[in-house]
Structure 1
Amino acid sequence: MLETATTFLFVPGDREDRFEKALRSDADVVIIDWEASVITSRKEAARQNTISFLKQADGRKIAVRLNPYSGRDFLDDAAALWAIHRSIAGAFLTMVSSPDQVNCSVKALPPSLPLVGMIETAQALIQVDDIAACRPLCRIAFGNMDFQTDLELPPEENVGLIYPSSRLIIASRAAGLPGPIAGATENIADLDHFVASARFERNLGFLAKLCVHPSQLAPARQAFAPSEQEIAWAKQVLEATCDSHAVMIDGRMIDRPVIDRAQKILARAQTRTK
């Protein structure tokens, strides 16, 4: 689920009244957040809310965002996961800083739990190749808001995110991971801004998106999932190249790299229909 999902929706762990609504949304994965949206005094409530909810709900499309390994709350998070790990899709490791940290985190967590590593600082970025190669991770995600804070970047501008985004995308590919998950867009009121950000991220190579409001799910899916036009084009390419890998379609040269691209589009589209 975490490897193939396109849309991820956050819900605060201390707002149990929102869990059911989030689960009924069109999100591929709902992330119950025990970290950034929950104040310290409410962390335990967030854990217990999640455990209680999963006793009566299907958690197969639920993931949990954990607190950073460097803090005291991580150990409490890890202990709570043992009660629910067989019921959920996986967990997000926050503030991942090194491969060693990933490996140490895994030792405290239930075995075989799918994990996404969040790259959120300059320190993490310079080690992202080695982090992505840590086999406990099934995917990496960009914690863009913390990254922007770390580097004092303006939150409404994308130019400062081109380099780190490219590093994540290349590291994921080199490590054999699915395309990474783009970070959250904090501006909820302006959907045009969200659409522009999502298109920018997709053009860089991200294949999924973190969302902070249900209104962002539909435009995120449209931006990151193969469009009907892409699917039609891919089918046309494969049909036209059954007997030759060098043909012309609409004035464009088609050969092996383009055929490979068409096959990947159809593979992603097939995943979306399962």
Structure 2
Amino acid sequence: MTLPLTLLYAPGDRPDVVHKALVSEADVVIVDLEDAVALGRKEYALDATAELLSSPQPLPVHVRINTPHDIEALAELPGLSALRLPKVAYATDIQQIAARAPGIPLYALLESALAIEHAYAIATAHPALSGIALGEADLRADLGVRGAAGLDWPRTRIVVAARAAGLTPPTQSVFPDILDLDGLYESCTHGRAIGFLGRAAIHPRQLPVIERAFRPTPQEIEAAEEIVKAAADDAGALALPDGRFVDAAIVAAAQRTLALARREVS
């Protein structure tokens, strides 16, 4: 299974932008029917998205729904790959959507203090749930935090919840300044350090930065290959020629690094 690292948002009421996203370098396109669409254009956005998804698309297309009523218009369309559910706060939110969209992968967006408290319950709510992520703008407002450091505990919380539930690591929330690519890269490397894998973008120029930040470096790949090769000949703990001690946990981490380099889920 190929592991996506870059997810590109496009507003559902802008078919021209959606079509450009579908020929971008993104791994996944997220058509947004929620925050990116003005209230008076919600119905048009849903109709335009349903028309788009009436046929298969060149990239996987997720739709961030606005209300559960959007599901009936989208769930059976051949171009839909998954639904992204905003403002999930309870496990029952997932269970109710799964019942209305059987067979459709679901992704929960946790955007409140209450959702963070229920993170593991949400992550284990239903087999249809494929992942969880933060909605950081709403969460920041709910918590009243000002700096990025104020979100580190919720970020770590959902990383742990996803791992405990057997889900893939969460992707980071969007970085809103599309011109600050250095800031984006720094933010991505911090996210990777605390357990995130991949990131949502709001502009195509952000995609290569995200890709570079989350892919293992040549040095990391070389080190992982050395560890895996050494461990293949020794069933227990061992020391590498440079004196580093290697145990089963370090070998497992090296194997995950190599899987990521191949863009495989591990």
Q: TM-score, normalised by structure 2?
A: 0.93
Alignment partner for residue 243 of structure 2, among 246, 251, 263?
251
Measured in 2, the distance between the counterparts of 1:217 and 1:82 equals: 28
Distance in 2, Cα, partners of 1:164 & 1:107: 28
Report the equivalent of 1:224: 214
Q: RMSD across aligned C-alpha pairs, in angstroms?
A: 1.8
Q: Which consecutive residues of structure 2, in runs of 5 or more, have no partner in the other structure?
A: none
Question: Residue type of the partner of 2:52?
Answer: F
Moved more, 250-259 or 133-142: 250-259
Amino acid at match of 2:215: A
* 1:72-114 deviation digits (Å, cap 9, x = unpaired): x421x11111342x322211011001001111122222x1101
Q: CA deviation at 1:136?
A: 2.2
Q: Which residue of 2 aligns with 1:128?
A: 119
Match of 1:39 in 2: 38
Shift of 1:224: 1.6
Cross-structure match for 1:146? 138
Cα offset, 1:139, TM superposition: 0.6
CA distance in 1, matches of 2:182, 2:220: 22
Cα deviation 1:4-48 (Å, max 9, x = unaligned): 211111000001111121111111100000001001211111111
Cα contact 2:23–2:58 (8 A) shared by 1: no
2:26 counterpart residue number: 27
Q: How far apart in 1 are the matches of 2:252 and 2:213?
A: 21
How do 1:1-274 and structure 2 match up within 5 A?
4-55=3-54, 58=57, 60-67=59-66, 73-75=67-69, 77-84=70-77, 86-109=78-101, 111-134=102-125, 135-154=127-146, 157-244=147-234, 245-271=237-263
Residue in 2 aligned with 1:70?
none
Please state how far the C-alpha of 1:249 moved relative to its aligned partner. Answer: 4.4
Q: CA deviation at 1:261?
A: 0.7
Q: More displaced, 243-252 or 111-120? A: 243-252
Q: Tell me by how many angstroms 1:234 deviates.
A: 1.1
Instruction: State the AA in 2 paired with 1:129.
Output: Y
Give the aligned residue type for 2:191: E
What SS does the corresponding residue of 2:261 show, helix, strand or coil?
helix
**TM-score under structure 1 length normalisation:** 0.90
- The SS at the match of 1:182 is coil
Measured at CA, do residues 188 and 56 of structure 1 come closer, stay the same or move farther in structure 2, by a change above 3 Å? Answer: same
Shift of 1:57: 5.4
Q: Gapped runs of 5+ residues in structure 1?
A: 68-72
Q: Is the 8 A contact 1:32 1:62 kept in 2?
A: yes
The alignment partner of 2:175 has SS state of: coil
Q: SS of 1:113's equivalent?
A: coil
What CA distance in whole angstroms lies between the structure 2 residues aligned with 1:74 and 1:267? 36
Q: Percent identity?
A: 35
- Secondary structure of the equivalent of 1:159? helix
Matched to 1:196, the amino acid is E
